[in-house]
Amino acid sequence: MSSDGSTRTAEATSARCLLCSVGCPVRAIASGPDHYVPDYMPHAGYVGLCGRGGVLVELLDHPARLLQARRGGEAVETAEAAAQIAEALRRGSSSAIIVDGNTDTDTLATVGRFAADVGARWSLYVPPSDAGLVHGLDTSGCTFVGPEELAEADAFLIIGDIYATHPVAAHWIFEAKAKQSRMPLLLIADPATATAKFATGLYQPALVVGETARAVAAVRTGQAEGLADGGALAGWKEQLQKAKRPAIVVGAEMGYADARALAAEVAVLAKSIGATVCPLTAYGGAWGALRTASANGGICPIEILSSPVDVLLVIGADLVSALGAKAASNVAAANESLYVGPMPNRLSDLASLVVPAAFPFETAGRALLGPDRPVEFEPLMAPPAGVPTVREILQMAGAPGDVRADVSAPCSGPEMPAAADEAGQGEGIRLALAADSIHFDDGSLTGRASWPQSVRGRPLLLMAQPDAEAAGLGDAQTAVIEGPGGTATVEVVVSQERRAGQARASAAFAEVRNVFGWTWDGARPGEPVCVTVRKA
Amino acid sequence: MPEQATAESVERRVVLDLDRCIECKSCMASCYYGHGRMAGVQFVDIGPAVLPIVCRQCDDPACVEVCPAGAMQRDERGVVSRGIFSCRGCGSCARACPFGVLSLEMVGHQIAKCDLCEDRLQRGLDPRCVAVCPTGALRFATVQQIEAEGLTVIGGRVAGDHPIRRR
């Protein structure tokens, strides 16, 4: 018997992990009365499961879960709360709904119908880099592949640290490498990353808006003037063209801040060299969510987030953690804010009405993991007794129950417009976000689970050696980042390969995101800013 | 499909292919959740990489020899395991381990210890860390199987106290 005492395998259920667009099958098995652990049985195309996927099972019975609808601290019946949501949205002169984009497409389409019925505007929250990638590629006419088809490729251009952001996607790249050990694996990303360890060629873009897109353009044209160390890109196009089945793998990383321009350049390059494109989004359901929003009246989130709203319903998303306090100030300033979701967060603390809902992985549904990758999934487990799904809450509020999303048409917008890089200019170190394989997105979900907390309980600052020396800092020391939005205490990781004057900090911590001071008329969410770093 | 273990296959060990590890820590997470939130897989930062280290199930284990409570035992099949109720969390085993695979950090006054996922072995399945590894960096195999593929098993003979560099 294992030390957890687990010997039971009955009651296994299957589902998909949507904490990235690989969409791994995930299963929970009983390991005692009312206790479940992730199972690792080969099934349904299973090739592994990263730490984030395992965390889902812990969240199922998390002690902090919302279980009772509350208005101003007083318990209310869920049906009554749902009716109050509809009434409040109808009453408002400027009502809006923002829903987390990692939700099944039929629920999102139901949100669209509900919004129309109550006269509210609605939008999605997906990471801006996901939105840029989808909008830049969806109508491009590229030949898309899923990660599992990468095993057939014989040369790779990889953009982003995808071994960290999408660990299981590495499975098929290693399969391809097993067939051809000298296969080119050209990487545009930071050094000292998991992916860089395996690259045959590396280009480290400067943390300037548009720089990654310019690097991809330079691969195509051979014109690398204006790029720092652009000579490193020489010969990349020839290596890719020489291959029979080249593939471009592009990850949506917060920090490049130019995902739409990057995606457009990827499309042009792919067509010019006959490469397939494998786009990997941070939100597993981002592709379907954006198509659903596009087809069902969803608007650009900036329209809601940058102008006053009197009644705001937020479903699932932790906008304050994801966007920082400044960019989400409008959310906090709404006359009446309503929250529907499975867990409390910085937004639910401000809401006058809070309604518990099932996690997206506790419902059956459909998602689009990529342009040609529709999946139907089952619930990992049933939600706790008395906790309805988002769809059920919307039905209680008067929405129709039979809405099915049509995700067949590609979308090209709406999207947050690109910003100039003015806000990133200035003195100090240019800072961007760094994703990892432990936490999901802003960390508001995985930060509540015990394993991610034990492995990465506080944020890292990945900085260049000259910058660290100048600040009197060494590896594993504690530093304070001071930026336009505030300060954050971090642990320093020094790299000799990293470009001086630029650094990255863990994306999965609200205090780090807040440092950026993102706004809608300056540096927009995801963009690098200049900060100072000092010893704590 | 992962290799399927059998009752006699405890001669196999969890082996890391250094050329495949992407440092995703999936192995650690699976071990943590599968063993009552105590991870027997540890990670060591060797500068250029952060690599998982797993119990080698030694033939003559120092951890068993030094354990004052008799909690560490090597059974007839070669699996070195820690008795839940006997372990006092004194840390002797962690200090004695020449490979540094036992963490001094204790959970519930106990040392986390790899037992090769005995519950899975009994069902003919690979240990969790091996089953979950997306790149195949962790294998459950005998030295002979690995060497038959033209790979070199390193770390068999050790000196010094660094779990990786001493190799």
What is the pLDDT at residue A256? 66
CB spacing of B25 vs A438 below 8 angstroms? yes
What is the pLDDT at residue A360? 93
What is the pLDDT at residue B7? 45
| Parent domain of B62 | 7-148
Whether B167 maps to a domain, the answer reads: no
Q: What are phi and psi of A484, to 5 degrees?
A: -60, -25
CA distance B10 to chain A (A): 15
> For residue range A197-250, what is the model confidence (pLDDT) as tens digits?
999 999 999 998 889 999 999 999 999 988 988 999 999 999 999 999 999 999
Question: Do the Cβ atoms of A161 and A253 come closer than 8 Å?
Answer: yes
CB contact, 8 Å: B10 with chain A? Answer: no
- Say if residue A258's pLDDT is above 90: no
> For residue range A328-352, what is the model confidence (pLDDT) as tens digits?
988 888 889 999 999 999 888 889 9
Q: Report helix, strand or coil for A41.
A: coil
Task: Determine the average pLDDT of the residues in A78-97.
Answer: 96
CA distance B26 to chain A (A): 5
What is the pLDDT at residue A265? 96
CA distance A282 to chain B (A): 16
Q: What single DSSP character describes residue B141?
A: E
What is the pLDDT at residue B111? 75
pTM listed for this prediction:
0.92
Question: Do the Cβ atoms of A421 and A208 come closer than 8 Å?
Answer: yes
> For residue range A303-317, what is the model confidence (pLDDT) as tens digits?
998 888 999 999 999
* DSSP notation for A354-395: EEE---GGGS-EEEESSTT-EEEE--SSPPPTT---HHHHHH
What is the pLDDT at residue A1? 32
Task: Determine the average pLDDT of the residues in A383-407.
Answer: 95
pLDDT bin (cut points 50, 70, 90) of residue B138 is very high
pLDDT bin (cut points 50, 70, 90) of residue A421 is low
Please enumerate in sequence order all residues whose Cβ is within 8 A of that of A509, keeping only pairs 6 or more positions apart, or say none: A442, A443, A447, A458, A459, A488
What is the pLDDT at residue A8? 29
Chain B residues whose CB is inside 8 A of the A450 CB are 37
Q: Where are the beta strands (DSSP E) in A399-467?
A: 429-434, 460-464
CB spacing of A50 vs B125 below 8 angstroms? no
pLDDT bin (cut points 50, 70, 90) of residue B4 is very low
Task: Determine the average pLDDT of the residues in A27-51.
Answer: 83
CB spacing of B134 vs A198 below 8 angstroms? no
What is the pLDDT at residue A11? 40
Q: Taking the C-alpha atoms of A353, A358, A360 and A362 in order, what is their torsion angle to the nearest 10 degrees?
A: 180
Looking at the domain A422-535, which fold is it?
Barwin-like endoglucanases (2.40.40)
What is the pLDDT at residue B8? 52
Tell me the CATH number for domain A70-127+286-396.
3.40.50.740
Taking the C-alpha atoms of residue B73 and residue B71, their distance in angstroms, rounded to an integer, is 6
What is the pLDDT at residue B38? 84
Looking at the domain A131-280, which fold is it?
Dimethylsulfoxide Reductase; domain 2 (3.40.228)
Interface of B with A in 43-62 (CB under 8 A): 48-49
Domain count of chain B? 1
Place of tokens 């210890």: B113
Chain B residues whose CB is inside 8 A of the A438 CB are 25
Where along chain A do its domains lie?
A: 13-60, 70-127+286-396, 131-280, 422-535
Question: Is the pLDDT higher at A427 or at A127?
Answer: A127
pLDDT bin (cut points 50, 70, 90) of residue B147 is confident
Tell me the CATH number for domain A13-60.
2.20.25
A80: enclosing H helix or E strand: helix A78-91
- Say if residue B67's pLDDT is above 90: yes
Chain B residue with the nearest C-alpha to that of A166: B24
pLDDT bin (cut points 50, 70, 90) of residue A415 is low
Chain B residues whose CB is inside 8 A of the A29 CB are none
Whether B153 maps to a domain, the answer reads: no
pLDDT bin (cut points 50, 70, 90) of residue B161 is very low
What is the pLDDT at residue A146? 96
CB contact, 8 Å: A44 with chain B? Answer: no
pLDDT bin (cut points 50, 70, 90) of residue A2 is very low
CA distance A464 to chain B (A): 14
* CATH number of the domain within which B86 lies: 3.30.70.20
Cis bond upstream, residue A42 (ω within 30): no
CB spacing of A171 vs B136 below 8 angstroms? yes
Hey, what are A180's tokens? 């051809």
What is the pLDDT at residue A350? 87
> For residue range A53-62, what is the model confidence (pLDDT) as tens digits?
999 999 988 9
Taking the C-alpha atoms of residue A58 and residue A449, their distance in angstroms, rounded to an integer, is 7
Residue of B25, B37, B132 lying closest to A40 (CB–CB):
B132
What is the pLDDT at residue A9? 34
Task: Determine the average pLDDT of the residues in A18-23.
Answer: 95
What is the pLDDT at residue B152? 65
Which one of A421-430, B26-35, B146-155 scores highest in mean pLDDT? B26-35
Q: Buried (b) or exposed (e) across B3-37, using 16+ Cβ within 10 A? A: eebeeebbebbbbbbeebbbbbbbbbbbbbbbbbb
pLDDT bin (cut points 50, 70, 90) of residue A414 is low
Which one of A35-44, A112-121, A406-415, B41-50 scores highest in mean pLDDT? A112-121
pLDDT bin (cut points 50, 70, 90) of residue A67 is very high
CA distance B70 to chain A (A): 17
The mean pLDDT of chain A is: 91
Q: Report helix, strand or coil for A295.
A: helix
Percentage of chain A modeled with pLDDT above 90? 76
A129-133, B10-14, B85-89: range with lowest mean pLDDT = B10-14
ipTM: 0.92
CB spacing of B37 vs A55 below 8 angstroms? no
Strand partners, A28: A13, A38
> For residue range A464-480, what is the model confidence (pLDDT) as tens digits?
999 999 999 999 999 99
